[in-house]
Each structure stands twice: as C-alpha cells, then as structure tokens.
Structure 1
Amino acid sequence: MRSRDMIISASWRRSLAAGVDRGVHAAPLVYDRTDIPAARAGHPLHDLMPLLRHTLLQIADEAAHIMVVTDADGNILWRDGHSEVLRQGDRIGLAEGFAWAESAVGTNGIGTALADGVPTSVYGEQHHIEILHGWSCVGAPIVDPDTGAVLGCVDISGIASSLPPATVALVGAAAQLAESHLALRMRESDERIRTRHAARSGLLVSCSGRVIAGERFRGERVSLPSEGGRVVLPDGRVGDVEFLGDSYLVNCRRGAPPRLTLTLLGGSPFAEYSGRRVTLSLRHAEILTLLATHPRGLTAEQLSFLLYGDDGNPVTIRAEIHRLRAQLPGAVAAKPYRLVGEVDTDLQTVRRALSTGDLDTVVNRYQGPLLPRSESFEIRRERDELEARVRSEILGKGNATHLWSYAQTSGGHDDVAILERIMSIVPADDHRHAAASVRLTHSF
C-alpha cells in the first residue's frame, strides 16, 4: 500500500498537470441551487444519508467539523455540521453545488480520495490551492458493490492544521458501512430475481452484468449487448441473451470461443476479435500485453504496479478493464484478470520464431518495437529484450532480405552495424546498397 506522502505527491503532480490555479479563492459552482434537490433525489446515496448522518454528524459537530457527501464527480450534494465551520465553508465553496474534484481545486480530501480510490487525509499546506491551507479534511470513496463504480465521497472537514488520527478510520468505516448496506440490498434483490426465475435454466445475469445464478460464474461479470444477441462468457464460450425485464438469461452455445489476435509490435496496436478489427489505445494495449505475457492472470494491484509503479491506482485499472471489456466482450476474465479463449500475438509469434531460427517469420512479423510509446517498466524490459534478440539474430545469421527488412524498422533504420552488413553482402548496383550508404553518411 502506498504511503500518505506518496498519495499527496502523486495528487500534486496531477493538479499541476491539470493546470489548477493555486490562487483561486473558491471551488467552482456547477449546480444551480434549484437543481440540487433533483440531483439528490436521483442519487444512489440518497437513501443512505440518515445512516451517514447518524454515524458522523454528532462527532463532526462536537469537534467543530462538517460532514460533506458528494457525487462520483466530487460535486457536493449534502453537507451538515458545526454552524461556524459551515459559514467558513460558504466562503470557499465547500457547500452544496460546488465542485471539489482534483481537476477543479487540486489536492484535497474529496477529490484526491475519489482519484485514488482510498480514504485520504489532506492537512493544511498539503492542499494545492492556498485558500485551503487553513483547512484539514478526510475523505473516503463509496463504491457500488453491484457495478464496482464509485458513487461518491463522504468527507469530514474542519478549520485546523490537522484532524484527530481516528478521523481517517471513522470516515473509512462510514464509507464501508454504506457499502455494506448497498451490498445487503443487492443480495436481497438478487434473491428475489433468482426466486422469480427459478424455473429457467441457464445463467441469470443482473442488469449490471453480474452473474447471479447458474454454473460456476456466479459473482463474475459479463458485457451485455445493448440489444438482444450474444454474449461471450468468462471462459470464452458464447451465449444467447434473453431480456427478462429485471435481469437477463444467457444460454450457452456449443462451439469454439472467439479467437483474439493482438498486433502489438510497431506504433499502431490493434486487436482482431470475433471477425472485427479493434484499434487499441495505448493503455488498453499495455494491459493486453501484460495479460498475454502472464497467462495465469494478474490482479488489479499487480497490473497497476506493472504499469505505473508505486504511483499506480488499482481503481484506474478496474475502470480501464471495464472499458476494455466493452470493446472485447468476453476476452478478459476476472479474479484474477486474464485472457480467455485462443489468444495469439505478434510478440509471441516472433519469440517462437527466434527460438527455432525462423528468420523469415521474424522479419515478416517484427514491424518495430513493442509499444514504443509505453513507459511501463515491465513493457520497456520486454521491448528492449526483444529488440536485442531480433537484432542479434539478424545481424549474425540473416541474409540480405532479412537485414533489409530489419533496416525498415525504427530500431534498424540508422543502425550502423546493420547498414554496413547490408553493404558488404549486396552488389554495389543494388538499390539497397545505395540506400544503406546514404543512411550511413547521415548517421555520422
């Protein structure tokens, strides 16, 4: 687990990158006052406010603090507590309708807790904007156990250089208590749905995509189609989907699971899946590369570390996996995250070809370095190792065709040893000899 200092440092870097002005005097207003009642009524935390007030409000008022509850974007929907602190909060926008995301006011207990996905305390000058240096706050995100999405943040704030150490634990416990109540309601709803459809065979899936009955996938998630059709299950099998009004029924088809083919070498990663070509963002390509090279799977925490190091956030990884699954339904299983079905990558193909000395396949599939824009330490290591192996094999054993093909990649284009080797084995009247000569001249 990252230390508090690391969390604050990472938050400051994000705040600076977002261009947050340290001299602003208040958080921005994002809700018209007349719209707040409707926003509250439609929010999933609305029914839990009595619970949160009972847990925190008396303590907050007695200690001259206030309690704040926001939506998932850090916009304040509820607040209560000590009257004088409420008046002070009005001056800086710590009130209903104002935005407290990091992108709005920089490092603070609400926005940083939402960004990091963990209970977070921010004291005095640790706040990014100067007007907050006289404040301290502790925030904890509340996560929907059904969807895994963050619903909002509960926060205790006060006019002091710090808050009692027990405040962090108390706010975190309040968030966990809210999540426990949400989980209880979810389980009661699941049981009603299971009872209502007990006579049906197949997988019973909630409207959020959770398997709630059937076979061995209970608790896992599937990406449901927007309309009827098919869904790919965690083990790669395909199922037909029927909407039941309060849930979905999935009946498995027989047959081979879809094949996932990944092109990761060079500068434009993409996937081929279920007959479709899907262009991949760098982050999705990085996740798929790590899962392909770790076939037993990785947890969100492991993926986060391999991608971001100590600054990683598992919440960010879970959100990216959610978006990736929408692009490649059924390709990524959970607990731990892993690729399912038949998977092939150009990275694996080149590795196999190198091990057997098949240089024709190597130069055909090696179109350049592995995800050249990736800063992940793990992927950089894979990239450098593969590049070194390809260069060594082609330089030592390759013919003119192999050498010239490698010279068209970003790594080989200006490689002096490669270019000199080409000139030594192709005739002087060969266009490759002339091109290599020109590149050599420019390289000095």
Structure 2
Amino acid sequence: MTKGAAPHMRAEVAASWERSAAAGVDITQLEAPIALDVPDVRGLREAHPLARVFPLLDDVLGREVRDCGAVMALADAEGTLLWVCGTPDRLREAERIGFTEGSNWDERLAGTNAPGLAIATGREAFVTRDEHFRASVRTWSCAATPIHDPVSSRLLGVLDVTGGDAIVVPQTMAMVRAAARLAEAELGRQAPPPPTAERGNGLRLLLELLGHSEALVTVDDGRGRLTRLRLSRRHSEIVTLLAASPAGLSGDELAVLLYEEDGGSSTLRAELNRLRGLLGEELLASRPYRLTAPVTGDWLAVQAQLAAGDLRAAMRGYGGPLLPRSTAPGIVGMRDALEASVRQALLRSGQADLMSAWTRSGWGRDDYEMWLAQRAVVPAASPMRALVEGQIARLDRDLA
C-alpha cells in the first residue's frame, strides 16, 4: 500500500489510492489543479443542465451546510467544481487545498476524495480524514453522490458536502442523497414529454450484462414507467443473442448459438414461451425470433466508446466479462471478442492508471502481459512500481 495510508482502510478507498498513485498524483501536492478560469466557469455553469436545479439544491442543502460550518459543492461529470458554497471563512479554508470553483477533483488529478470516488465508481462515496490520498486534505471529510439525467441516465455531475468531523455521521449522506434525488425529480419534471407519435409505441429495453452472471433487464414503456427484471441464465443468453441480432434468428440459428451440443427444439420453444411471458407478448416476436423494441446495453456502450477512441469511458463502463458464467457458444464468442478489444486497447494505450484498473480486477489480476506493460510505463520512482514488481514476481513463481 502507498506510504501514508491508514493501517485499516476500506477496499474501495484502497482501490482509489492505487488509481491515484497510478495516475501520478503526488501525495504531498497541496492543491487540486485548476481546470477552468473564472470566466470559463461562469460560461460552463450557464450552459450546464444542473444550473436548472442549483437554486433548489442550495435552498434544501446549502443552508444546512452553512449552519454546520461545511461547504457544498456541485461538480460536473469530469470532476470540475462548478459551484462551491459556504460561509466566507470556510470558503477561504477550502481554498487552501484548492477546493474552489474551476478546480478538478477527479481522483486521477486530485487523489482520493468523495467527489472523485463517486465519479470513478458511479456510487455515493464517503471519504474521511486520513482516507484522503493527499496529506493536505486530511483535516477534511466529504460525502458525495452522483446526479443522473432522469431521461437518459447519463451522469450529469456530483453533489458533495465537505467539512470537518461534524459531518462524519450517517445523516450527512442521507441529506446529500435526498437532495440529489430531489434534483433528479425536478429535472424529470422539467423534461419535455416525448413526441406524441412516439407515445404508446415507445418501448425500450436496457440490458446490463457486464460482470453479471444473469442479465438485468429494464423495460421502459415510453411513459416513464420502468420494470426491472433479473432473468435466469438461459433467458439471459437468449435475450443477449437476440439483442446482438436485430434482424432476428431462426430457431435453428438460435439453437446453434445457445447450446454446446444439439438442443431439442421443443426445449428452446418452451424457454422462448416462458421468456415471452416475462417480457410481454409485444416484445418478443417469432419467425424469425427477434426483439421488437430498441435495445441499449452496457456492452454496446463499451463497443461504441472503443470505436470512438474513448478508452477511459470504455473502462468506466466495463464492469467485467459479459455473462461470465455462460458457456453458450454465441455468448462465449461475444464475451471473448469484447474482452480482447478492451485488453488490446489498454496494452496499446500506455496509460498506467487504466492498466492498473484492469490488473486490480478479478478478471485481470493474473494478466501477465498487462503487468509487464504496466511496469514499462510506471516510473521507477513511483510508489506503484513495487506493487507491480511484486505481482510480476508472484506470477513468475506461479507459472514456473
């Protein structure tokens, strides 16, 4: 573990320390880097969707924060602080660590902190005193939670409360979470309704497959009502194969992709009938078998991000192998192809922090070639070098 780490550390914080070290953050760095000058911050704020709900957040949370001597901040999806609110004295103290409007608190630039951890993991985060990577921040504690677009689910930014020991109570996160959900509800209320022509036939399917042994399916009826399902392994495989074949598949084609050995047609028909009962008659057609609603999925987003050259976004979205326990030939092919694409992009990238994210994972822990590539780009003086060398030595022993 990096020098200066607390003797007992939560796993998610330890992982963030490793990401911070891999990105080259200096533990003695006093301030977070300034990403935007004041005029640029103002322009970005005016154009940002969160500008529509900032007054609401300041009213429901900002007042409480000022009363307890803390600071409320609202960052964009890249970690740049767009609004920082508090009493004048407290704001001056926050400025000493660079916690000001226009500074960037992505953990790869500012080290472990709650807003950066929330962006990295997509979940709410609490970081207390010594859990911060940079020594200059260790008199502070912070609680943060993401805010998403209620229509597209896109990350809009992060709401954060930063202060002293008084905020290290469960009620702080509860307040931050409630304020963020209120902001999302208000954004949803302000969102324009879908065009009339799309209503009634606006069904959509969202599939979450990466790192999940069973698919998580969200059915959007186009009227704001969402139904969430966890499918069995076989149904997960069928939905995934059909999602990957928009034009549809015959029964024989689907069986070849689904079964390792010849599967009975009656068994497949029974599985499809059960699946139709779960999804609804209107979502699963036959002759050929196909999904009748537009499909979005986590693996599709990763593929698109790789194609666009946005490896960092692809790594954020890659939650693990696609349906990792499936042995269906078609699924194995999809899984192997996606993993190979991500892995080769990483090996070519030369970005130590992204390689570190791969080798910290369950699927990449024993990736010898990736550890070697990581060693080639980690500076000899980096605190990460000893960890990388140790893992290579472990694999050398295991492979001997």
TM superposition score category, shorter chain reference: 0.5 to 0.7
- After superposition, residues 124-163 of structure 1 pair within 5 angstroms as 124-160=129-165, 163=168
2-side partners of 1:71 and 1:114: how far apart?
Answer: 9
Matched, 1:182 2:187: yes
Deviations 1:50-102 (A, max 9, x none): 11011111111110001100000110000111221101111221111000000
Alpha-carbon offset, residue 219 of structure 1? 6.0
Aligned counterpart for 2:68 among listed residues 58, 63, 68: 63
Aligned counterpart for 2:54 among listed residues 45, 49, 54: 49
1-side partners of 2:16 and 2:106: how far apart?
Answer: 11
Partner amino acid, structure 2, of 1:190:
P
Indicate if the aligned counterparts of 1:11 and 1:112 stay in contact, CA closer than 8 A: yes
Matched, 1:6 2:19: no
Matched, 1:167 2:146: no
Indicate if the aligned counterparts of 1:124 and 1:161 stay in contact, CA closer than 8 A: no
1-side partners of 2:161 and 2:82: how far apart?
Answer: 14
- After superposition, residues 334-345 of structure 1 pair within 5 angstroms as 344-345=329-330
SS of structure 2 residue aligned to 1:142 = strand
2-side partners of 1:236 and 1:73: how far apart?
Answer: 34
Indicate if the aligned counterparts of 2:114 and 2:142 stay in contact, CA closer than 8 A: yes
2-side partners of 1:12 and 1:35: how far apart?
Answer: 30
Q: Which has the higher contact order (CA 8 A, sep 6+)?
A: 2
Alpha-carbon offset, residue 185 of structure 1? 3.2
1-side partners of 2:331 and 2:123: how far apart?
Answer: 38
Indicate if the aligned counterparts of 1:134 and 1:161 stay in contact, CA closer than 8 A: no
Q: Partner residue of 1:39?
A: 44
**TM-score w.r.t. length of structure 1:** 0.49
Partner amino acid, structure 2, of 1:68:
A
State which structure, 1 or 2, has the greater radius of gyration over its C-alpha atoms.
1
2-side partners of 1:123 and 1:39: how far apart?
Answer: 30
Consecutive unaligned residues of structure 1, counting only runs of 5 or more, are 221-231, 239-254, 264-295, 297-317, 329-336, 349-369, 382-443
Partner amino acid, structure 1, of 2:193:
D
Deviations 1:258-278 (A, max 9, x none): x89xx9xxxxxxxxxxxxxxx
- Greater strand share, structure number: 1
Matched, 1:101 2:106: yes
Indicate if the aligned counterparts of 1:85 and 1:159 stay in contact, CA closer than 8 A: no
CA RMSD across the alignment: 4.5
2-side partners of 1:17 and 1:171: how far apart?
Answer: 30
SS of structure 2 residue aligned to 1:61 = helix
Partner amino acid, structure 2, of 1:118:
R
Query: How many equivalent pairs are there?
Result: 257
Indicate if the aligned counterparts of 2:200 and 2:222 stay in contact, CA closer than 8 A: no
Off by >3 Å, runs of 4+ in structure 1: 159-162, 200-205, 210-214, 217-220, 232-238, 318-321, 325-328, 343-348, 373-381
1:179 to 1:321, Cα distance in 2 relative to 1, 3 A: farther
Q: Give the fraction of aligned pairs with identical amino acids, expressed as a percent.
A: 31
**TM-score w.r.t. length of structure 2:** 0.54
Consecutive unaligned residues of structure 2, counting only runs of 5 or more, are 1-8, 205-218, 228-240, 258-274, 276-296, 308-321, 334-338, 344-357, 367-399
2-side partners of 1:212 and 1:326: how far apart?
Answer: 27
Alpha-carbon offset, residue 236 of structure 1? 4.2
Q: Partner residue of 2:303?
A: 324
- Greater helix share, structure number: 2
1:42 to 1:345, Cα distance in 2 relative to 1, 3 A: same
Indicate if the aligned counterparts of 1:142 and 1:175 stay in contact, CA closer than 8 A: yes
Alpha-carbon offset, residue 256 of structure 1? 4.8
1-side partners of 2:26 and 2:363: how far apart?
Answer: 35
